[in-house]
Chains A and B, each alone.
Chain A
Amino acid sequence: GENVEQHPSTLSVQEGDSAVIKCTYSDSASNYFPWYKQELGKRPQLIIDIRSNVGEKKDQRIAVTLNKTAKHFSLHITETQPEDSAVYFCAASRTDSWGKLQFGAGTQVVVTP
């Protein structure tokens, strides 16, 4: 089955700096890669996603890149703000299991003013 590894487990950044979280996956059939932000005690919120036919996607301060050959994808947050502090999860899914996600272990991001 799919195995998703996520690094780092914790990330402290100064407000205004950039944050990068990296994930690798094992199943070459995976073709959908969402990123979630989860605040304490709340549900994961989808912040950005990318499909395997795209190499990069950007939404304001958030971007995701995908390298299918190397089987890794990354989340980039620019101009970080204190409200970006949360746990971020990457995930992977494949066409024949719509909605079934394999999650990474998560990254605790702390943005200090």
Chain B
Amino acid sequence: GAVVSQHPSRVICKSGTSVKIECRSLDFQATTMFWYRQFPKQSLMLMATSNEGSKATYEQGVEKDKFLINHASLTLSTLTVTSAHPEDSSFYICSASGPHGNYGYTFGSGTRLTVV
């Protein structure tokens, strides 16, 4: 149980375009999803917390207008990187948590974004 799927696994896009990343909980209802970013040889940094049906909470320093998060259902959250630039190239990874924290800490497979 507690499987989290993330898509796409890799994406290359041109500078100025937008990219959408999906995170799905396959066998449980994810009331909360977290989006992390990981630069090469660095740790995972929390970008935002999204609760189903409400606005995401962004960490300090993360531009909410650039990283749009939607958590419209209990099994799907999306992260859209708008007007991507080369400095946005990174490994983006989600995690999902169920009610009362059940199944928390399960990570998606990650998305390697390269902006050229």
A residues lining the B interface (CB < 8 Å): 34, 41-44, 46, 49, 89, 93, 95, 97-106
Summed over the interface, the residue pairs from A and B with CB atoms below 8 Å come to a total of: 53
Q: Counting CB contacts under 8 A, is B82 at the interface?
A: no
A41 and B112 within 8 A (CB): yes
Jot down 24 A-B pairs with beta carbons below 8 A, ordered by A: A41-B110, A42-B109, A43-B108, A44-B107, A46-B105, A46-B106, A49-B105, A93-B104, A93-B105, A98-B32, A98-B97, A98-B101, A99-B32, A99-B34, A99-B95, A99-B104, A99-B105, A100-B34, A100-B49, A101-B44, A101-B105, A102-B46, A103-B43, A105-B42
* B interface residues (Cβ-Cβ under 8 A, vs A): 32, 34, 42-46, 49, 91, 93, 95-97, 100-101, 104-110, 112
A89–B105 alpha-carbon span in the complex (Å)? 13
Q: Which residues of A contact B44 (CB under 8 A)?
A: 44, 89, 101, 103
Q: Which residue of B lies closest to A43 (CB)?
A: B107
CB pair A43–B101 under 8 Å, yes or no, is no
Judging by beta carbons under 8 Å apart, are A105 and B43 in contact? Answer: yes
Query: Chain A's interface: helix, strand, loop or mixed, by majority?
Result: loop
| Neighbouring B residues of A93 by C-beta, 8 Å | 104-105
Q: How far is the CA of A42 from the CA of B110 in the complex (A)?
A: 7
Are B100 and A98 interface neighbours, CB within 8 A? yes
Which of B46, B91, B108 meets A101, CB within 8 Å?
A: B46
Name which of A41, A49, A99 has the most chain B CB atoms within 10 A of its CB: A99
**Please, which residues of chain B bring their CB within 8 A of the CB of A34?**
105
The 6 closest A-B pairs by CB, nearest first: A98-B101, A99-B97, A99-B104, A43-B107, A103-B43, A103-B44
B59 nearest in chain A by CB position: A1
A89 to B97, CA, bound (A): 19
A93 to B32, CA, bound (A): 14
**A103 → chain B, closest Cβ, in Å?**
5
Closest beta carbon of chain A to B6's beta carbon, Å:
8
- Give the nearest-CB partner of A89 in chain B: B43
Q: Report the minimal beta-carbon distance from A21 to chain B, rounded to whole angstroms.
A: 13
